[in-house]
Amino acid sequence: MSLEKYRKKRNFTRTPEPEGEATETNRCIYVIQEHHASHLHWDLRLEANGVLKSWALPKDPPREVGVRRLAVPFEDHPIEYADFEGKIAEGQYGTGQVTIWDRGTYEPVFFGDDKIVVNIDGNKLKGKYCLIKSKFQGRDGWLLFKMKQ
Ligand code: MN
């Protein structure tokens, strides 16, 4: 895992976002940030191998079984990003306000390259969730949904 892509997109003299290092924590951090960028979206992040694997959800995260959401993969973010809230300035990558929508930990059930199953223990999301690589309305992406226990 590398933060090269993450760093290339940002100018750390102009954004309050953390530059960060890949850091092993074994805490299994789970966080979703609400991001008021040009299009409102929610960024789901799961700690894996010293970074936060990241997906952008164009619609609000699914709280109930039966709701499927597109999850577009984005570059790995540093662990410190799990605590980030703030305003990304005009003209910078991801311009807009970022707030933490939910956070907690997860327990990995299955962690593969194109399928991930996790037990999420957050304040808003709780229970078993599946992320699976899939075509969604003709686009390459992932699907996120809550599973029956
Ligand atoms: Mn975002």
The three-state secondary structure class of 5 is helix
Give the Å distance between the CA of 60 and the centre of ligand 1.
Answer: 13
Instruction: List, for residues 68-118, the tens digit of each pLDDT value.
Output: 999 999 999 999 999 999 999 999 999 999 999 999 999 999 999 999 999
Give the Å distance between the CA of 114 and the centre of ligand 1.
Answer: 21
| Domain ranges (residues) in the chain | 4-146
Select from 107, 117, 53, 118 the least CA-distant residue to 79.
Answer: 53
Q: Would you put residue 124 in left (φ > 0), alpha (ψ -120 to 50) or beta?
A: alpha
Q: Could you list which residues have their CB under 5 Å from ion ligand 1?
A: 35, 43
- DSSP designation for 8: H
What are the φ/ψ torsions at residue 130 (nearest 5 degrees)? -120, 135
Query: Is-contact 18 3, C-beta < 8 A?
Result: no
Give the Å distance between the CA of 100 and the centre of ligand 1.
Answer: 11
Number of CB atoms found within 10 A of residue 141's CB: 20
Percent of the chain with pLDDT over 90: 87
Query: Is-contact 52 46, C-beta < 8 A?
Result: yes
pTM of the model: 0.92
Separation in Å, CA 5 to CA 10, 19, 74, 141? 9, 12, 10, 19
Separation in Å, CA 127 to CA 25, 28, 60, 103? 22, 15, 17, 13
Determine the Cα–Cα distance for residues 118 and 92; give it in Å rounded to an integer. Answer: 33
Instruction: List, for residues 119-133, the tens digit of each pLDDT value.
Output: 999 999 999 999 999
